[in-house]
Structure 1
Amino acid sequence: MHQHAYEGQCAAEETRRASAMPTVKYPKLTLLALALGTFAIGTGEFGSNGIIQLFASDLDVSIPVATYAITAYAFGVVIGSPAIILVAARANRRTLLIGLIALFLVGNGLSALAPNIELLVVCRFIAGSVQGAFFGAGAVVAAYVYGPGKGGKAFATVMGGLTVATIAGSPLGTFIGQSAGWRVMYWTVVAVGLLAGAALVAWLPRTDELRGNSIANELRALRRGNVWLMVAVAALGISSIFAVYTFIGPFVTDAARRDASVIPLALAVFGLGMAVGNQLGGRVADRQANRGLTWGYGGVLILLVLIGVAGGDLAILLPCLFGVGATMMFAIPTIQVRLTGFAPDAPTLMGALNLAALNLANSLGAIGGAVTLDAGWGTLSTVWAGFVLTAAGLILYIVTIARRRPSPVPPVLEGNAAEPHPRQLIRSTPA
């Protein structure tokens, strides 16, 4: 009798859990639509780096002036995305994502038409303002599809499109720009964006469970010290990925003394590492509070030393490039889970801040590498700048955040308590 009672209780519990899970008509297609959106965004971002010489020549400006367009995109992510999240705080995440992809089309379409560098800078800022907001809102929708406790996996899914962009989208965009002109590259990005927009309209679930938040809640999250500590940890730690990625070309041609034709291979190897690390990191982030970050940062420190000491050998450089991409991306889902654990009532804004931190890391890594090169320390010296920055991020995390517990998940504000609101779906695993 006791056995039957126990089995009945188990069955009841399974029924309760099943009823609490969201019902999505096309879950795999929903996730595909989100990844396609981030693929389009990533192709536009990384593809711009590959055509900078082309639009500099066409618009009759120097390379340093042309880099203002790249910098403007980063400012769009850092400043524009959080601003959009605050303005559209109450919007349904489905509506927000569709609106963001429309703004993405405007930014890239106008980029293709820009008659001078000044307007191109403005257009790249508009395009960049979409990125962080899209990743944040996309992570909320992905978490809704996966169900409770899968915030890391959800963010990794959304990031998956970006990692594919580094492997295929960026090289293809650069090739199109070189073959048909830089404006055609941006029109190609628009075409991919249109496809992503159609997929979002067709496959994103229509439900009030994806409703937005109040501006007051979003702003309240910005007053939490742990949030800003995590942003600092991300900006410092992830910078080493850019202290390497930015200088892969010189690593191959100057340090390893190989032909420039090897550079695309090195970039692809790095991108493959990012894709692998992203998927593994998403799984670890949902199970361990700290391991994804501490293992990721610790692993990349070892690899940076190997590159700095023996990176002149291509047989060592290529595996290390794969490893740097993998270990850094292994840490990023944990950063997202910890951020949203400290502000569970503002997951979309936390996603935007995570992307903002990554763009700050881009600047820090590139600047740090430039400093070591200007000092005359050699081509591979950029990795030591990355080593110092990542070590600082790891130490800051261990000393200030690693043992802190996330904020308690707020109660359901509306609806049936058995059905979790999306704000509950991206949460940190307790320390």
Structure 2
Amino acid sequence: MPSRRPQPRRSPQAPRNPLPLYLLALAVFAMGTSEFMLAGLLPELARDLGVSLGAAGALTSAFAVGMVIGAPLMAVLARRWSGRAGLSVFVLVFLAAHVVSAVTGSFSVLLLSRVAAALANAGFLALALTTATAMVPADRGARALAVLLGGTTVATVVGVPGGALLGAVAGWRAAFWAVAVLCVPAALGILRGVPGGRAERVPLRAEFRVLRAPGLVRVMVLAALVNAATFGALTFLAPVVTGPAGLSGPWVPVALVLFGAGSFAGVTVAGRFADRHGDRLLAVGGPVLLTGWAALAVLADRPAALLGLLLVQGALSFALGGTLVARILREAAGAPALGGAYATAALNAGAVAGPLSAVLVLGRPTGPFLLSAGLVAVALAFAAVSGSPPGGPASRC
């Protein structure tokens, strides 16, 4: 790997944990809550708008696809803007989409507003990833990403159950209003606190050429596989909790909260150690993650083991995922405007492919866990045969 890659501009006086970074995380929390909260709102939403549950499920698919294609498209659109301007526009579009969702009586309008929200979410996250690392000293980039991605993990612990509860008490529209309200302080904080300077200007063709780098492609594939394993198992967790484990319905949110709590711990640990010890995290965490998914498939009929392993798997999945995101941004340093888009697209490609693949193995209740183990095994094999491991000597953070 060439060693003279352009790096994002950082102020020599950059604070270690600037307040605007936490406001970015608040916006990510709102967006993560929006992305996942529909699971608990679909039945009432479908009845209210007069559509089938299957049709209502298209809202989730539309959001996921919008995230995948939106990351590079929105990043290209915003590459001439400053970080402050781009982030502000995306969060305000996201806010407006949720206001429209909350007031519309048309399913078609709701579907279009979800696509708009997904595009804004993808653009925001792509830009926020590179902005966050540029706001802190170079040796704290992974910690900045941990704060940012922590917004998503907190959404799984607090935001998603809270959205479902709010929907049950006040109706599904109230959940959309709540997400819109959360965006207000984030938008104000971005306008006041995020630096207004533009990212380093690199010709668009040169930014796309970065995708030819074997190191970047390798880490993007690994990130997609790990995230596919995570969401393939998580999407179909409820049938395992109420099936082989023999637990009642109220235990499903408990299982999800445990996984979310583990994911928050994992992304936090990755933030503390990935800058200096990312190689070790990947080398040790990968095989342990594989073992954990296989163990879940075998021990799913034992509630205590299931719940304990979900906590561990959440931590491992997001520790590896957070470390791989940091590596993608490092490998894509020659694409200052699109590097975050590459990371966002890789993660969301996995988030789409994992559940779609898991559908094929639902004949066995623990099939998604076995699939996740297989996906991690493929990732480990790919890392072994594709050259030096991600984060090796050529690309050490």
TM-score, normalisation: structure 2: 0.91
Asked if the contact 2:74–2:122 (Cα under 8 Å) also holds between the matched residues in 1, the reply is no
Q: Deviations over 1:220-259 (max 9, x none)?
A: 3234344333222222222121122112211211111111
2:76 aligned partner, one-letter code: L
Does residue 1:50 correspond to 2:58, yes or no?
no
Question: In the alignment, what sits opposite 1:382?
Answer: 368
CA distance in 1, matches of 2:276, 2:198: 25
Question: In the alignment, what sits opposite 2:124?
Answer: 134
Question: In the alignment, what sits opposite 1:321?
Answer: 310
CA distance in 1, matches of 2:81, 2:110: 29
Instruction: Report the CA distance between 1:150 and its aligned residue.
Output: 2.6
CA distance in 2, matches of 1:362, 1:403: 23
Tell me the secondary structure at the aligned position of residue 90 of structure 1.
coil
Tell me which structure has the larger Cα radius of gyration: 1
1:394-405 alignment, distance < 5 Å: 394-403=380-389
Does residue 1:257 correspond to 2:246, yes or no?
yes
Instruction: Report the CA distance between 1:171 and its aligned residue.
Output: 0.6
CA distance in 1, matches of 2:269, 2:110: 38
Question: In the alignment, what sits opposite 1:392?
Answer: 378
Question: In the alignment, what sits opposite 1:109?
Answer: 99
| Structure 1 residues 175 and 298, CA gap change in structure 2 (3 angstroms) | same
Equivalent residue in structure 2 for 1:267, among 247, 256, 267: 256
1:160 aligned partner, one-letter code: G
CA distance in 1, matches of 2:134, 2:248: 47
Does residue 1:367 correspond to 2:351, yes or no?
no
Percent identical: 30
Equivalent residue in structure 2 for 1:193, among 183, 203, 212: 183
CA distance in 2, matches of 1:108, 1:144: 29
Asked if the contact 1:89–1:213 (Cα under 8 Å) also holds between the matched residues in 2, the reply is no
CA distance in 1, matches of 2:188, 2:161: 24
| Structure 1 residues 226 and 269, CA gap change in structure 2 (3 angstroms) | same
CA distance in 2, matches of 1:273, 1:283: 15
Does residue 1:297 correspond to 2:286, yes or no?
yes
| Structure 1 residues 70 and 84, CA gap change in structure 2 (3 angstroms) | same
Tell me the secondary structure at the aligned position of residue 288 of structure 1.
helix
Tell me the secondary structure at the aligned position of residue 287 of structure 1.
helix
Equivalent residue in structure 2 for 1:33, among 16, 23, 47: 23
Question: In the alignment, what sits opposite 1:119?
Answer: 109
CA distance in 2, matches of 1:218, 1:86: 10
Equivalent residue in structure 1 for 2:208, among 219, 242, 247: 219
1:170-209 alignment, distance < 5 Å: 170-206=160-196, 208=197
CA RMSD of aligned residues (A): 2.3
CA distance in 2, matches of 1:406, 1:130: 34
Does residue 1:344 correspond to 2:333, yes or no?
yes
Does residue 1:429 correspond to 2:396, yes or no?
yes
Instruction: Report the CA distance between 1:36 and its aligned residue.
Output: 0.7
CA distance in 2, matches of 1:401, 1:119: 48
Instruction: Report the CA distance between 1:340 and its aligned residue.
Output: 2.2
CA distance in 1, matches of 2:343, 2:123: 10
Q: Deviations over 1:138-182 (max 9, x none)?
A: 222322232113322221111011111110011111111122111
Does residue 1:22 correspond to 2:15, yes or no?
no
Larger deviation: 64-73 or 270-279? 64-73
CA distance in 1, matches of 2:15, 2:311: 37
Q: Deviations over 1:381-424 (max 9, x none)?
A: 2101111112112211222153477899xxxxxxxxxxxxxxxx
1:166 aligned partner, one-letter code: T
CA distance in 2, matches of 1:301, 1:403: 17
Q: Deviations over 1:102-138 (max 9, x none)?
A: 1111222222233332222211111111223322322
CA distance in 1, matches of 2:52, 2:217: 37
Instruction: Report the CA distance between 1:322 and its aligned residue.
Output: 0.6
| Structure 1 residues 214 and 154, CA gap change in structure 2 (3 angstroms) | farther
2:324 aligned partner, one-letter code: I
TM-score, normalisation: structure 1: 0.84
Question: In the alignment, what sits opposite 1:62?
Answer: 52
1:429 aligned partner, one-letter code: R
Question: Paired residues, what number?
Answer: 388
CA distance in 1, matches of 2:233, 2:285: 15
Asked if the contact 1:74–1:359 (Cα under 8 Å) also holds between the matched residues in 2, the reply is yes
CA distance in 2, matches of 1:398, 1:145: 34
Asked if the contact 1:38–1:135 (Cα under 8 Å) also holds between the matched residues in 2, the reply is yes
Question: In the alignment, what sits opposite 1:17?
Answer: none
Larger deviation: 77-86 or 289-298? 289-298
Unaligned runs of 5+ in 1: 1-19, 409-427
Asked if the contact 2:75–2:337 (Cα under 8 Å) also holds between the matched residues in 1, the reply is yes
Instruction: Report the CA distance between 1:69 and its aligned residue.
Output: 1.0
Larger deviation: 238-247 or 66-75? 238-247
Unaligned runs of 5+ in 2: 1-9
